[in-house]
Amino acid sequence: MGDYMMIDTHCHLGKNDYENLDVVIKHMDNNIMIASGADMTSNCENLELVKKYSNIYATIGMHPSEVSVYNSSCLSWLESHINDDKVVGIGEIGLDYHYEGYDKDLQKKMFIEQIELAKKYHKVVVIHSRDATLDTLEIIKEYLDGYPTVMHCYSGSVEVAHILTKMGVMLGIGGVVTFKNASKLVEVVREIDLKYLLLETDSPYLAPEPFRGKTNEPYNVLYVAKKIAEIKNISVSEVLEITTNNACKLFDLDR
């Protein structure tokens, strides 16, 4: 490998996520990570990480699972840090109807308020959507058509992938694509032009094969790249070159 830089466009780098976070980060020397925020703890940790490591950038935002603690002071905190050095987007934000007891209306309000914040400051929107495809699509159509947006850990159909990419939405492809039962996602990767794809790990979750079930780490983005290369029948370097360019352009990263 070594010829092209890898960018893990979506990972979680919480102190408690890994046995030794510094080792995990060190493993990504010469490569780039974008640490995703999900709650106030991770948002604050991310702001520290970007100061400490030159190859880490951050997004900040409140995940839909934070719906019960989200309030206007979270939103003003996000606004007060959105222009901090190396904060490149708002996320992960979105809708999650997977667990019972969710409040759809409150999730939508929280999602839209954070989208509007991102748009006010021209920051990328990083979306989490789980069991909520139709509502997410509706909000994207209304607020984000043509706006710099990523659907992180994309796991939907080819049909929805076409709808999204026609609106300019980028698809984050993670370790799930390496799983044996990933035929739907393999189809998405085969059908969708590489110019719409980004590599990600969602570490410490969703480790790719051959590490499935273990703690994931950003370096494993290489296995996602290898799988995409195999599906598209192109070289791994080509996958890395194009997806790295996609990420740099979208998030306006300096290399």
Q: By C-beta, is 45 or 202 nearer to Zn ion?
A: 202
What does 185-249 look like in DSSP terms, one character per residue?
Answer: HHHHHHHS-GGGEEE---TTSSPPTTSTTS---GGGHHHHHHHHHHHHTS-HHHHHHHHHHHHHH
Instruction: Provide the mask over 176-205, with x wherever binding to Zn ion is found by CB under 5 A and - wherever it is not.
Output: --------------------------x---
Instruction: Provide the mask over 9-48, with x wherever binding to Zn ion is found by CB under 5 A and - wherever it is not.
Output: ---------------------------x------------
The Cα–Cα gap between 117 and 203 comes to: 26
Q: By C-beta, is 49 or 236 nearer to Zn ion?
A: 49
Opening angle at CA 143, ends 45 and 83, nearest 5: 35
**Counting Cβ atoms within 10 Å, is residue 59 exposed (0-12), middle (13-18) or buried (19+)?**
buried
Instruction: Provide the mask over 202-231, with x wherever binding to Zn ion is found by CB under 5 A and - wherever it is not.
Output: x-----------------------------
Instruction: Provide the mask over 44-83, with x wherever binding to Zn ion is found by CB under 5 A and - wherever it is not.
Output: ----------------------------------------
Kindly state the smallest distance separating residue 46's Cβ from Zn ion, in Å: 12
Kindly state the smallest distance separating residue 39's Cβ from Zn ion, in Å: 11
Task: Please check whether residue 12 is in contact with residue 35, taking contact to mean a CB–CB distance below 8 angstroms.
Answer: yes
Q: By C-beta, is 25 or 236 nearer to Zn ion?
A: 25
Q: By C-beta, is 148 or 175 nearer to Zn ion?
A: 175
Instruction: Provide the mask over 115-154, with x wherever binding to Zn ion is found by CB under 5 A and - wherever it is not.
Output: ----------------------------------------
Kindly state the smallest distance separating residue 1's Cβ from Zn ion, in Å: 25
Task: Please check whether residue 211 is in contact with residue 234, taking contact to mean a CB–CB distance below 8 angstroms.
Answer: no
The number of residues that bind Zn ion (CB under 5 A) is 2
Kindly state the smallest distance separating residue 237's Cβ from Zn ion, in Å: 27
Find, among 196, 62, 114, 1, the residue nearest to 188 by Cα. Answer: 196
Q: By C-beta, is 117 or 200 nearer to Zn ion?
A: 200
Find, among 27, 28, 83, the residue nearest to 60 by Cα. Answer: 83
Report the side by side order of strands in the sheet with 56-60: 7-11, 32-35, 56-60, 87-96, 124-130, 149-151, 170-173, 197-199
The Cα–Cα gap between 146 and 10 comes to: 21
Kindly state the smallest distance separating residue 128's Cβ from Zn ion, in Å: 6
Kindly state the smallest distance separating residue 203's Cβ from Zn ion, in Å: 9
Contact set with Zn ion (CB under 5 A): 36, 202
